């Protein structure tokens, strides 16, 4: 198959779909979307529970972040077809020793550590970037005589949970300079109970009825992009297409692949410019993972929205994780959906390790890891076995290679990386995706939506200049 299009969009996630919507509204309807997966949505992945038919788990994005400035949330409210829940009610912190850890034991010290990190780089902009773990050790060496040991242990465990379970990466890899260097969120976070698949469908409903079958080509991975001439040529495994403009919405991690034998490798003609090559090794993603535990009955508090499991120990062997090696957050589906289920958030390397457990013993191994943790919130003497376990697989997903971008030691600031993509290669080679926007929407589904809106406007304006 061959064809000439005005715009080709690579990727049918939220950013690609939004780009198509706004182009179509602007009068550009000769559009083709190429999607490597067998479905639309990209890293938005909803899974229906087999045990609780009215419940959907999102293994990708789960929340409407920035509730005061989120067009996807606004649309859900306007249409009234998405169930949602503000899961910021009662929270419980606990650890291996205490079933409840009051916030006064850690919050002031935690705030001071974050302030110390900020002041360190404000006073000395040339201070070398070190890991979050290292700068916490630096703080402790200077201030340990002012801190109660028990409160210190709980504070440092809280720092880990905030850093690791936002970025999806271990604190000994996270950049001290940038891990907490982000704009504050614009409003609360809202759990999407209906699943992001319905959010995607809300967007698709703004396109013509036949668009999905006529303008989206699934199971089609791009192998080569030739932009050596005014007309851009795009080659897949079997087909070739040409276009005036191309918008790439791939996860940032895929642009760092330089092995021609890798199924996600894209050959560029000419090669990507120096800035991309120079910064490509910073495109690696973290992996915020999820493990879903379904039970036959609820044996924990039905009213607590989230349980924060603090960890005061560290893994001796990342390939053989033990209970309490990593902090986790347990999302209580008894509270938000009325079913006996918990969803645990995980980070690398634990997320990757779970994915690679032997399939024959995987569920047993996962339960061995989390059973002692869940036992601490249990009303039962011995927590019953789960009736079902699900988990994410973003590390092993060849079209993702992780959950979303993160800030590792030595990386440039987020603005440098997002601007690299937001400015595009030229007026014809454009980039979109949640990792191409700065600010609080970076890495979020509505950030992808904003990027699609931005790129469609850019192309429409460029076309108008030529008229």
- Residue range 287-307, pLDDT digits in tens: 999 999 999 999 999 999 999
User: Residue 238 has what pLDDT?
Assistant: 87
- Secondary structure (3-state) at 50: coil
Of all helices (H) and strands (E), which one includes residue 95? none
Mean pLDDT of 235-244: 94
Beta-ladder partners of 131: 175
Helix H segments across 27-148? 71-79, 107-123, 132-143
- Secondary structure (3-state) at 18: helix
Fold assignment, 89-187+288-391: Polyamine Oxidase; Chain A, domain 2 (3.90.660)
Confidence of residue 182 (pLDDT cuts 50, 70, 90): low
pLDDT digits 0-9 by tens, 345-371: 999 999 999 999 999 999 999 999 999
Domain ranges of the chain: 2-43+196-282+408-465, 89-187+288-391
User: Residue 404 has what pLDDT?
Assistant: 87
Distance CA 411, CA 285 (A): 12
Q: Count the neighbouring beta carbons within 10 Å of the beta carbon of residue 160.
A: 24
Answer whether residue 1 shows pLDDT above 60. Answer: no
Of all helices (H) and strands (E), which one includes residue 388? strand 388-391
- Secondary structure (3-state) at 238: coil
Answer whether residue 405 shows pLDDT above 90. Answer: no
Distance CA 23, CA 353 (A): 42
Of all helices (H) and strands (E), which one includes residue 351? helix 350-355
Taking the model in full, what pTM does it have?
0.96
148-150-156 Cα angle (round to 5) = 95
| Structure tokens belonging to residue 329 | 């957050």
Q: Which residue has the higher pLDDT, 430 or 404?
A: 430
Just give the CATH number of 2-43+196-282+408-465: 3.50.50.60
User: Residue 367 has what pLDDT?
Assistant: 98
Mean pLDDT of 60-82: 97
């Amino acid at each position: 198959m061959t064809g000439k299009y005005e715009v080709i969009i690579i990727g049918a996630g939220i950013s690609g779909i939004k780009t198509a919507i706004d182009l179509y509204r602007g009068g550009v309807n000769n559009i083709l979307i190429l999607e490597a997966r067998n479905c639309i949505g990209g890293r938005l992945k909803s899974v229906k529970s087999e045990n609780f038919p009215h419940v959907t788990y999102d293994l990708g994005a789960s929340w409407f972040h920035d509730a005061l400035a989120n067009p996807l949330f606004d649309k859900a409210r306007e249409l009234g077809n998405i169930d949602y829940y503000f899961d910021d009610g009662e929270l419980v912190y606990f650890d291996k020793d205490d079933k409840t850890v009051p916030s006064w034991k850690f919050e002031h010290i935690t705030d001071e550590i974050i302030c110390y990190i900020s002041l360190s780089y404000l006073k000395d902009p040339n201070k070398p970037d070190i890991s979050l773990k290292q700068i916490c050790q630096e703080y402790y060496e200077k201030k340990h005589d002012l801190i109660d040991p028990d409160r210190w242990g709980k504070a440092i465990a809280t720092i880990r949970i905030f850093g690791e379970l936002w970025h999806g990466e271990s604190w000994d890899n996270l950049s001290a300079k940038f891990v907490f260097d982000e704009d504050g969120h614009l409003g609360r976070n809202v759990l999407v109970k209906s699943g992001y698949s319905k959010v995607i469908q809300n967007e698709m409903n703004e396109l013509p009825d036949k668009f999905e079958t006529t303008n989206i080509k699934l199971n089609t991975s791009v192998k080569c992009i030739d932009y050596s001439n005014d007309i851009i040529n795009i080659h897949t495994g079997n087909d070739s297409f040409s276009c005036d403009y191309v918008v790439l919405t791939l996860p940032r991690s895929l642009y760092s692949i330089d092995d021609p034998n890798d199924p996600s490798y894209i050959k560029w003609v000419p090669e990507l410019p120096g800035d991309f090559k120079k910064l490509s090794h910073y495109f690696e993603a973290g992996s915020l993972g999820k493990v879903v535990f379904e039970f036959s009955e609820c044996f924990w508090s039905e009213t607590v929205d989230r349980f924060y499991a603090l960890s005061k120990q560290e893994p001796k062997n990342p390939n053989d994780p033990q209970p309490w090696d990593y902090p986790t957050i347990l999302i209580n589906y008894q509270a938000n959906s009325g079913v006996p289920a918990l969803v645990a958030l995980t980070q690398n390397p634990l997320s990757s390790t779970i994915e690679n457990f032997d399939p024959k013993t995987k569920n047993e191994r996962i339960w061995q890891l989390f059973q002692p943790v869940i036992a601490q919130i249990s009303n039962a003497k011995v927590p019953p076995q789960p009736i079902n376990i699900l988990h994410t697989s973003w590390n092993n997903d060849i079209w993702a290679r992780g959950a979303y971008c993160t800030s590792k030691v030595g990386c440039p600031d987020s603005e440098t990386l997002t601007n690299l993509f937001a400015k595009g290669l030229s007026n014809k080679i454009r980039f979109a995706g949640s990792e191409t926007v700065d600010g609080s929407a970076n890495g979020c589904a509505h950030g992808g939506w904003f990027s699609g809106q931005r790129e469609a406007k850019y192309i429409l304006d460029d076309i108008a200049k030529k008229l």
